[in-house]
Amino acid sequence: MRLPKFRFYIRLLYAFLRKHQRIIILSLAMTILFVILVPKIIDVDLVRPRQKIGLVGRYQPTNLPYEIASLISYGLTIPLPDGSIEPGLAQSWEVRENGRIYIFTIKKGVFWHDGTKVVAKDINYNFSDVSATILDEQRIKFELKEPFSPFPVVVSRPVFKKGLVGLGDYRVRSIKKSGQIIHKLVLVPAKEEAKPNLIFHFYPNEEAAKTGYKLGEVDYLEDIFFPNELEGWGNTHIESSIKYDRYTAIFFNTQTEKFADKPVRQALAYAIDKKWQPRALSSFSPDSWAYNSMVKAYDQDLKNAKNLLGQNGGQVTIEKINLATVPSLLGIAEQIKADWQKLGIETEIQLIHSPSEEFEALLVSQQIPRDADQYVLWHSTQVTNLSKYKSPKLDKLLEDGRKTLNQDERKKIYQDFQRFLVEDSPAIFLFHPTVYSISRK
């Protein structure tokens, strides 16, 4: 019964298509041309949403912060928050001669941002004292002079071809530099994904960064220590976070007569009211697989501090301490000064802009290495040992830790290291710093 009506609509549609076929064909052709040609005519990157981010620091293309470098590329391995690793560009690796030789096998089908296939000869870490040999298109061998168990973490550093050509989710569109110092870095998605462009502006200090935010140069600020002046700024959101990969501490120059004795250093540690949160108990992050939470905490104990200094019937051996620090930690230095005053010790605070070898006591924040190996920070042979601390026992633990492959054995070594380090107190560990992210709502 309904067939005649159906035929009627078919004839009507056919008549419509015949009458307007030129317009329909032209419209279809224009749509196809639009889809094909517009992306070639219009730069899609220019119309993509943008995030303008401000950071404080002076960086070169070779030392970008890991948070940025890892957007552009990745290494043979990828570091995890606890200091362990997972495969990155390498699908697997082999360890020989107790950690002296490492052979990495690169994943197949990985391409650089310029479209070329990644092969073993592209890996260009250029380590000193490490011999690199290309075994074939997929395998590269690193030969070290002696066993070094943290090496798989070392090769988590992102790899690049010339011009910061990488492998990651973002590629470099442009870099603005003064000499080798980067002022502006523009990253765009490496693939056609629903991700924004990232425009990084680098500022010499926090004040310049906050001014850039006020002027609208950036809409986000990262790792800001003093956000107060922006708290009342219109349409602004401020969020805090804790940097467990850093700690703030007082480093004593243990080569001076004043701080040569452990009881003196311990007394100064006990004198401080460590009310800052979260506390740093040692030079290790609490996120680390090797962290030891059972070290001496040095909670404030003035009676014990005075006993250690020999002030119960004894004679004060320290009358004044010169405490060097950076401007961002001046408030903390003032609190430490007040606490040491309770022991009858005067403190003269000296503001510096970078650590110097010539100091009595130094209040600064320090980056924690990704791996548990802290040889460069505390071994007596290292110029980066801020306290100039010398301990044959701890030197041996540090040497054993970087030669031991088994993680359970390494954990025991580094937990012993933390216990002895905190006991000797070449530094007073205070807290993990809080930083602030600022954004427009």
For residues 253 and 290, the answer to whether their CB atoms sit within 8 Å is no
Work out the percent of the chain whose per-residue pLDDT is above 70. Answer: 88
* Residue pLDDT, tens place only, 291-335: 999 999 999 999 999 999 886 444 557 899 999 999 999 999 999
Every domain of the chain and the residues it spans: 74-154, 246-432
Please state the pTM of the whole predicted model.
0.85
Q: Of 1-15, 145-159, 220-234, 265-279, where does mean pLDDT reach its minimum?
A: 1-15
Q: Is the domain defined by 246-432 classed in CATH 3.20.20.70?
A: no
* Residue pLDDT, tens place only, 34-91: 555 555 554 555 567 899 999 999 999 999 999 999 999 999 999 999 999 999 999 9
Q: What is the dihedral of CA 331, 336, 337, 342, to 10 degrees?
A: 140
* Residue pLDDT, tens place only, 183-199: 999 999 998 778 999 99
What local confidence, expressed as pLDDT, does residue 1 receive?
Answer: 46
The secondary structure of residue 43, as a DSSP letter, is -
Distance CA 123, CA 103 (A): 13
The secondary structure of residue 121, as a DSSP letter, is G
Mean pLDDT within 403-409: 97
| Helix (H) / strand (E) containing 237 | strand 236-242
Cross-strand pairs, 200: 53, 185
Question: Helices 262-271 and 302-309, interaxial angle, to 10°?
Answer: 160
Q: What is the CATH number of domain 74-154?
A: 3.90.76.10
Residue 434 has pLDDT above 90, yes or no: yes
Domain 74-154 and domain 246-432 have a common topology:
no
